[in-house]
Structure formats: C-alpha cells, structure tokens
Chain A
Amino acid sequence: MNKFDVKDLNLYYGENHALKGINLPIPERKVTALIGPSGCGKSTLLRTLNRMNDLIENVKITGNVSLDGNDIYQERNVGGLRMKVGMVFQKPNPFPMSIYENVAYGLRAQGIRDKKVIDEAVENALRGAALWDEVSDRLDGHAFGLSGGQQQRLCIARAIAIQPEVILMDEPTSALDPIATHKIEELMEELRKDYTIVIVTHSMNQAKRISDKTAVFWMGELVEHGETAQIFNSPQDERTKGYVNGDFG
C-alpha cells in the first residue's frame, strides 16, 4: 500500500528546474530514505510532501503528489495536510517556550483547550520520543535548556503529539553528535511501527541502517529507487554506483 504517490513531478525555483519528472511511490509504515549529493533535490522533494515549499516565493509545480489517493495540491486545507504529515527539521528548532508548551503547541493550534487531554498527549508524545524520563521533572523548564539531541527529540515529540500519519525528516541528525544520532536512530526503529517515515540523509550508513526503501537523486532527477539492500548491493545506475561507493558526493 502506497502512502504517497509522486507522479511526473516538476518543480521550478524561478528559472531553476529543481525537480525533473519525479515518479516515486512511498510505501506506508516503512522508512524511505532520500539520498544524493548536495543540491540534488532530495530536500526539495521532501518539502513538496507537506507543501512546505508554499512558503517560498516563485515556486512552480507541475505533476501531482497524492496522499492516500488524494492530490495534496488540490487540497485547500494546507493546515490539515500538515497535521497529517509532520516534519522534523535539520537543525533542532524548538520554539522559545517551555518543554511542555512546545509539545502542546500543535494541539493548541487545533483549538484543543482541555488540560487533561493536553497533559496526556504531552506525556505520550514525550514517551514516544524517548524523552520523558529525562524531562518529566522539568516540563516547565525552557526548551533551550536542553542539549541539541534532546531538542531534536523534543521536536519529534512535538510532531507526534498531534498524531500524524507521516513524519518527514530533513537530515534530522546532521547537527548532532554520534551519541545523540544513535538515540534518534533507535527512536526511529520504534516510530517506524506506527508511522510512515521519509528521511533525507547525507549519511549513506544511516540510510543503510534505518531505511527499507531508498531513492537516489542526482541533479534534480530520481536516478533509481527500490529496496535499500538492492540499491546498496547491486545498484543499476552508474551514478548510484559512484555515489554509494563514495566516489563523489
């Protein structure tokens, strides 16, 4: 069952043709890794999945992206789409408020006021992000008091608090040290049971470790995609071979 279906997707930043005729199915409850050298369009593709590119001027899109069979670019309720498709960014970006308020943010944005409901959702989300044991005694503390890795797990908690179906991760560990990275990867092992995860990563080892499917990008094109093991062990395309062998990129 495919969660997303990307069909003939082209994206232009003004004159710059950033995504060229992308066709990519993204399966449900699997981890799909998007890899490729810098500027190849992998982050851009990730951001088309929750329409984050809408925030940028002069972006033109053709083709379509469907979520559960519905074209998300026909959707009027972009907020509703983003509630279903959560996002974790490259640099941890907690809001300048308390740990509790950070996690409660998405719920409050939906107009939920019931303190009991929010309390429960905050605890569940923090447990789900493997952060509860570290912060349960200082929920009112400022989010900026946490370490980088904790902040990133807080951002994951913030995303899962509103119970999305998909989590998009844009190089979520590139700003973290190896130990914090390891913790996030462990966490993803848990999350993959309940969520469809799409992750952009620079690290081929990370893609190998955590993903079921891998898609390789090259200068705006999707070179090849398939089972992660197959991509890394017997790549079909010369460019993929070069990239996964570390010849460039």
Chain B
Amino acid sequence: MRRTIEDRIALSLIWGGASLTIIFLVWMLWHILANGLSYVDWTFISANYSVTDKENSGIWPMIVSTIYMVILSIAIAAPIGIMTALFLTEYAKPGSKVVKVIRFCTESLAGIPSIIYGLFGMTFFVVTLGLGFSILSGALTLTILILPVIIRTTEEALIAVPLAYREGSYGLGASKIYTIWRVILPSAMPGIITSVILSTGRVIGESAPVFLTAGMVARIPDSVLDSGRTLTVHLYKLTTELYTVHDWNQAYATATVLIVLVLAINLVTKLIGRRLNKATY
C-alpha cells in the first residue's frame, strides 16, 4: 500500500511540474498576444516610427535593423564558427592542448553575461576601432556572442558523421579537404543549419549588447555603419518610457511581432531539419 501512495505522490509531482511549465508558457503567450495582437496591423508593420504621431507610428525601421543585424552577424560568425569546429574535429589531435584551450574559451564565452559583451563591443568596436554606434559594431559584438553556440552545435554535428564515410572516402584516395567538402559537411548540414537558426534566435533576442554598440536610432539605417534599433531594443526602449497608453499598446504589439518571429524560426528549423534528414537517410 505504501508503495502505491509513494507512486501517486511522485506521479502527481511529475505531472504538476510538467503542467506548470505548459501553463506558464501558454499563459505568457496568451497574455502577450491578447494585449498586442489587436494593435498589429499593416500600418504598424510598414510605417516609420514616430514619437509625435502615435496613431500612425510603426516598427518598419526596427524590422529592417533586425534583419540587417541577423544577416551580418550570421555572415561573419557562421564561417568562423564552422571553420573552428572543423579544426577541432578534423584537424587538431583529440585531447591536445589547442583543443582544450579552444574548448575552454568557447565554454567560458558562453557563460559570460551578455551585457559584458556589450561593454566590450562599445569600448573596442565603437571607440577603439572607430566604427561608431552602428549595425556593424552591433553585428561584430553579437558575432562573439553567438560563436560558442555555432562552434558547439557544429562540432557535435561533425562528430556524429559516421567514421565509415571518412574511411570510404580516404579509401578511394580522396584528400582530406575533398572528404570534408563532399561527405562530412553535407552530412553535418542539418546540425549546422540548426546552429545557425539557434543563433538567429539569439541575435533577435539580445537587447543590452545591441543598444550599447548599435545605438537606438529609430530610422532605417543608411548603411551598416549607421546606427539602428532592433525590435528587442525597441521593446526595451518602449517599456522604459511608458508615458501613454499608446506606448503600452505599442510595446505589446512589438512583443507580439517578436514572438511570432521566434516561433516562425523554430518551425522553419524543424522543417529544414526534417527535410534534410529525409534527404540523407
């Protein structure tokens, strides 16, 4: 009898934990969407931001800045990260000093609070390199921030490539670089794409390191050397300056757009992953 009572308690605790997680997620989503969705319309998405004309104010510049930021930081971080992962798995001796040092660095990088990246980016990219508060400074800062994610995930994908493929390729006299290009990278592609999309989520989600390096100018940047305000920074700005009910509504509407964006990215990741898996197996 005791046993069944213990079982029941354990079971209810497990169920309780699982349900709490789901309840909080649904609650939060519902809360944001309920408060924000009704303010998301075409004008809100496509109009320029205006402090004075709050009726017709929109978030188009922030969407553009966010897209710039994502493309630029991924374009810089992905090649560096993939090459580092290739070095760690294919070239360096497993367990050697170099591998340990690089691993330690990436793990430490992953644990640093993101605002510290912002501080570093501001002093180094903005001031020392003279890039100013710009999309480029922001993207470079975010590059350092997402590198550990890309390296880690790509490394795992590369390690998972069966040894039999490598043996088959080397057995035909193929060179290392040819083997990597034709067999190893394509097999690891689903994992690499996952890492890129995870990083995209991270770039969209960060606020502190972005406004410390890219500034907060709320118009479409002329170039990568111009300042820009991403959606998340915009949300931060709105919530810290809640003067009117309009600001409040705009904040929720921006949050809604962000959530839809992140959900869409998650969905696309899964679809691509499944598609590639089908292609390979």
> Do the two chains belong together in a single complex?
yes
Name A's B-contacting residues (CB within 8 A): 50, 52, 55, 57, 79-83, 86-87, 89, 91, 93-97, 105-106, 108-110, 142, 144, 155, 158-159, 162
- Minimum C-beta distance from B234 to chain A (A): 44
- Minimum C-beta distance from A217 to chain B (A): 21
The interface residues of chain B lying within 8 Å CB-to-CB of A162 are 172-173
User: Roughly how many angstroms separate A171 CA and B167 CA in the complex, as a whole number?
Assistant: 15
- Minimum C-beta distance from A155 to chain B (A): 7
Given contacts A57-B93, A83-B173, A96-B186, are A155 and B281 in contact (CB under 8 A)? no
Q: CB distance A55 to B173 under 8 Å? A: no
Q: CB distance B173 to A95 under 8 Å? A: no
User: Roughly how many angstroms separate A110 CA and B170 CA in the complex, as a whole number?
Assistant: 12
**B162 contacts partner chain A, Cβ-Cβ < 8 Å:** yes
Name B's A-contacting residues (CB within 8 A): 93-94, 162, 164-175, 178, 182-183, 186-187, 279-281
The interface residues of chain B lying within 8 Å CB-to-CB of A108 are 182
Q: CB distance A55 to B166 under 8 Å? A: yes
Report 25 cross-chain contacts, Cβ distance below 8 Å, ordered by A residue.
Answer: A52-B167, A55-B166, A79-B174, A79-B175, A82-B173, A83-B172, A89-B167, A89-B171, A91-B164, A95-B165, A95-B169, A96-B186, A96-B280, A96-B281, A97-B186, A105-B172, A105-B182, A106-B174, A108-B182, A109-B169, A109-B175, A109-B178, A110-B173, A159-B171, A159-B172
The interface residues of chain B lying within 8 Å CB-to-CB of A95 are 165, 168-169, 182-183
Q: Which of B166, B168, B173, B186 contacts A79 (CB 8 A)?
A: B173
The interface residues of chain A lying within 8 Å CB-to-CB of B279 are 96, 142
Q: CB distance B187 to A96 under 8 Å? A: yes
The interface residues of chain B lying within 8 Å CB-to-CB of A55 are 166-167, 170
The interface residues of chain B lying within 8 Å CB-to-CB of A80 are 173
Given contacts A95-B165, A105-B182, are A52 and B174 in contact (CB under 8 A)? no
User: Roughly how many angstroms separate A94 CA and B172 CA in the complex, as a whole number?
Assistant: 12
User: Roughly how many angstroms separate A108 CA and B178 CA in the complex, as a whole number?
Assistant: 9
Q: CB distance A105 to B167 under 8 Å? A: no
Q: CB distance A93 to B172 under 8 Å? A: no
Which partner residue on chain A sits nearest B174 by CB separation?
Answer: A109
User: Roughly how many angstroms separate A159 CA and B13 CA in the complex, as a whole number?
Assistant: 59
Q: CB distance B164 to A93 under 8 Å? A: yes
Which partner residue on chain A sits nearest B278 by CB separation?
Answer: A142
The interface residues of chain A lying within 8 Å CB-to-CB of B172 are 82-83, 86, 105-106, 109, 158-159, 162
Q: Which of A91, A93, A97, A109 contacts B173 (CB 8 A)?
A: A109
Tell me which of A52, A57, A82, A158 has the highest count of chain B C-beta atoms within 10 A of its own C-beta: A82
User: Roughly how many angstroms separate A116 CA and B145 CA in the complex, as a whole number?
Assistant: 49
- Minimum C-beta distance from A46 to chain B (A): 11
- Minimum C-beta distance from A129 to chain B (A): 14
18 additional contacts (CB under 8 A) given A82-B172, A159-B171: A55-B167, A81-B173, A82-B170, A87-B167, A93-B164, A95-B165, A95-B183, A96-B279, A106-B174, A109-B169, A109-B174, A109-B178, A109-B182, A110-B173, A144-B281, A155-B168, A158-B168, A162-B172
- Minimum C-beta distance from B176 to chain A (A): 9
Which partner residue on chain B sits nearest A110 by CB separation?
Answer: B173
The interface residues of chain B lying within 8 Å CB-to-CB of A91 are 164
User: Roughly how many angstroms separate A50 CA and B169 CA in the complex, as a whole number?
Assistant: 13
The interface residues of chain A lying within 8 Å CB-to-CB of B187 are 96
Q: CB distance A89 to B170 under 8 Å? A: no
- Minimum C-beta distance from A114 to chain B (A): 18
- Minimum C-beta distance from B96 to chain A (A): 10
Which partner residue on chain A sits nearest B168 by CB separation?
Answer: A93
Q: CB distance B165 to A93 under 8 Å? A: yes
Q: Which of B94, B167, B175, B178 contacts A93 (CB 8 A)?
A: B167
The interface residues of chain B lying within 8 Å CB-to-CB of A155 are 168
User: Roughly how many angstroms separate A110 CA and B169 CA in the complex, as a whole number?
Assistant: 12
- Minimum C-beta distance from B164 to chain A (A): 4
The interface residues of chain B lying within 8 Å CB-to-CB of A110 are 173
- Minimum C-beta distance from A243 to chain B (A): 28
User: Roughly how many angstroms separate A203 CA and B86 CA in the complex, as a whole number?
Assistant: 40
Which partner residue on chain A sits nearest B171 by CB separation?
Answer: A87
Which partner residue on chain B sits nearest A82 by CB separation?
Answer: B173
The interface residues of chain B lying within 8 Å CB-to-CB of A93 are 162, 164-165, 167-168
User: Roughly how many angstroms separate A158 CA and B280 CA in the complex, as a whole number?
Assistant: 19
Given contacts A57-B93, A57-B94, are A105 and B169 in contact (CB under 8 A)? yes
The interface residues of chain B lying within 8 Å CB-to-CB of A81 are 173
Which partner residue on chain A sits nearest B280 by CB separation?
Answer: A96
- Minimum C-beta distance from A32 to chain B (A): 18
User: Roughly how many angstroms separate A159 CA and B168 CA in the complex, as a whole number?
Assistant: 9
- Minimum C-beta distance from B186 to chain A (A): 7
- Minimum C-beta distance from A78 to chain B (A): 8
The interface residues of chain A lying within 8 Å CB-to-CB of B168 are 89, 93-95, 155, 158
- Minimum C-beta distance from B68 to chain A (A): 35
User: Roughly how many angstroms separate A203 CA and B175 CA in the complex, as a whole number?
Assistant: 34
